[in-house]
Structure 1
Amino acid sequence: MTLTQLEIFSRVAELRGFTLAANRLGISQSAVSHAMKSLEQELGVELLRRHTARVELSDIGEQLLLRARAMLGLADTLRQEAADARGMKRGTLRIGSFGPTSSVTLLPGILEAYRQTHPGIEVHIEEGPDRQVIQWLEERRIDIGFVVLPQERFDTFPLIEDRMVALLPAGHPLATRAQVSLKDLCDDPFVLTEAGSSELVWRLFSAARLSPNIRYRCSQLLSTLDVVSRGDAVSLVAEGSLPADTAARYVKRPLSPAVRRQVGLAVLDRRQASPATLAFIESAIRRHHP
């Protein structure tokens, strides 16, 4: 068994296909097929179920994929620790980011400082909903992720705190109030933004034993803002995710009682984090907690 076989296996599992994995890795499809056949023969189990248009993981394949990713992560840490001894001139960092708060507000500034001190580190950024970032961390598909805190299953590093606000169409009756309650937001059609802190929104309503009238679900915040500005629905979002130049299109009001949201970085295990990952954490903390 080789690390190359495990890397190919991980890519095939991620992309659900030999051709896509071959294209991503820059090798031939026959090389991918040969590596998977050799790995299965060595282990004596079927890792993949081949279909006409795709491949699926077997039950044991799902189990071994987590082990394979753990081994690949440790191997990458070894390489980066060796690179660190040489001045960390090379390496790879995989970052998970969600919504405008991390992708637009936090990440660009941190990356700018990081690249100045570590220009040789290749950075890969995966973007998805907050719950997706959590899953990527657990599966070791990323080295570090932006998350809404707290997250007790990870080692975390707080960066910023903002508040949750209600978004209302201009002219809405609630817009005249200084504050809005969760119950107030249950009387109108509701639009849920699934790219940002959707899990936090669900927890808030659930804890209050309330059910918003969800009429729309948007994968991006800008789509949510369009729905609200047209007067079709109300919403609940983090204030830090809102763009600075569109406030005239809607009205934002703080919640009563107030709800704070904390955003930070998370790693699966700080003790096993690579030097490139630790350096990114250091850059983020230095920028937001000078």
Structure 2
Amino acid sequence: MSTDYQQAREALGVRLRELRLSAPGGRLSGAELAGQYGWNKSKVSRLENGKQTPTPDDLHKWAEGTGQSEAYDELVARLRGFESHIRSWRRQLASGHKAVQDTHLSAHADASVFHGWESSTIFGILQTPDYARSIFTRYAELQRSPRDTEEAVRSRMKRQEALYNSSKRFHLIMWEAALRSLVCPPSVLAAQLDRLSGAIGLDTVELGIIPLSGTLKIPAATAFWIYDDRQVIVENWHAELWIDDEASVDTYRRTWRTLRESAVYGVDAHDVISEARRHVSSR
């Protein structure tokens, strides 16, 4: 969990404690507040000490239970403020993958210059429909989320229109491992690699590949996107991190530049893709 997120959760906990201790009818004990709603008494402690993230319903009951219902709007605004930075897959995928794709479509529309790093799969913006379909299916199984695969694929394909927008620039780096990962049938991966080769000729795309035999100055870790040098989106197994504080964004900029030093471009990148294509065709 990020330091900024935890600090914000702890600050919200402090505010909850203040409300409990300043209840108009006299300060409430944690046990008294918990008793009003049948909560385990440890829940009050966990919330006040930043050990548990409250739900909007928890905040509504807290404001009502402490006799300060007017505080609810403030509390829920605090919650939304720090949850906007950590977006759990459980919540995001409650209605399926399309909503998440639409969110990214909107974010792409608002930015012009993109820097991306991917170590395990092909960038979504360069995926074929069949490859994207395989990815969405596998993640829906993992996250146990609703199956809206075709709607999600259409949204992802819609985002690819940005590749042909002359006002946009995509600076992308991939690890060769992503070209060889059989997260889909071999025939689908072969077609995907053909699509990837074609992206090298786009004037809006600078595509670099780090060969498996290349020397890495830092580990090939988590994938991320940088939007206009002002916001970073990082995908983890449990959530997406939307990061916009200057110091953290600068860390990802340095990370991207360091990874770029190991990448090959142009004809050399095409050769790496072609070798991966020959490898998958032999399977």
TM-score normalised to the size of structure 2?
Answer: 0.31
Higher strand share: 1
